[in-house]
Amino acid sequence: MPVYTETVMDHFRNPRNVGVIENPDGVGEEGNPVCGDMMTFYIKVDNDRISDVKFQTFGCGAAIAVSSMVSEMAKGKTLEEALKITPDTVAEQLGGLPKNKFHCSNLGAQALTKAIEDYESKKAAKGAAIKEAREVVGAKETSKTDEKPLRACCCPYCDAEVESKESPICKACGVTLKTCPGCKTAVEPQAKLCPKCGKALK
């Protein structure tokens, strides 16, 4: 029967940070199909620092103790510091583990690393989405500035500018037009309605 230290037994009997974080920033899961141990870590990150961490573990007493210790070691650490948590440092903090239970410390450190990697992946994807959205908005704004300003009055035949006055004559094509009294747009002489504002024409 494995001999556990008092620290291991304390974390087994009184595990810290057990539970699930709603809407976690990162989730990491690791398991050993041989022994049946499964660990899931949930983390919240603020300014690249782990502000909260919780875990769910299915396994032996050593697995529960390791999960509890890893959660304590990770809370409050920067992501860079948390990634430095290794199986050896976990076992050391627990005062040692029996050789046949040392794999549990591997699972704990690996589950935490996966949670951090999950956070980093989501962060990168979000950053890419924001960048793409900004580029789309920027392209729309650019297209707006590239648009030609609307001219007050244009010939409906040749699109040349004409003077906005009663019965204007297009200097480009020589057609005599009539002007809408409402919006002052030059329209075809036979038009009954202004194509721009819909006002009836004489």
The string of pLDDT tens digits covering residues 68-92 is 999 999 999 999 999 999 989 999 9
Is 183 noted as a catalytic residue in this protein?
no
92 with 168, same domain?
Answer: no
Whether 45 is covered by a domain: the verdict is yes
| Tens digit of each residue's pLDDT (9 = 90 or more) over 131-165 | 777 776 666 666 655 554 444 466 666 666 666 55
**Are 57 and 111 in a shared domain?**
yes
CA distance 64 to 40: 11
Given the residues 104, 155, 180, 194, the one annotated as active site = 104
- Decide if 55 contacts 63 (C-beta within 8 A): no
Q: Are 75 and 161 contained in the same domain?
A: no
35 flagged as catalytic: yes
Same domain, 107 and 44: yes
Domain count, the chain: 2
Residue 144 lies in a domain: no
pTM of the predicted model, to two decimals?
Answer: 0.63
The answer to whether residue 16 is domain-embedded is yes
Is residue 42 within 8 Å of 27, Cβ to Cβ? yes
pLDDT tens digits, one per residue of 5-45: 999 999 999 999 999 999 999 999 998 766 678 999 999 99
Domain coverage including residue 198: 150-202
- Residue 111, in any domain of the structure: yes
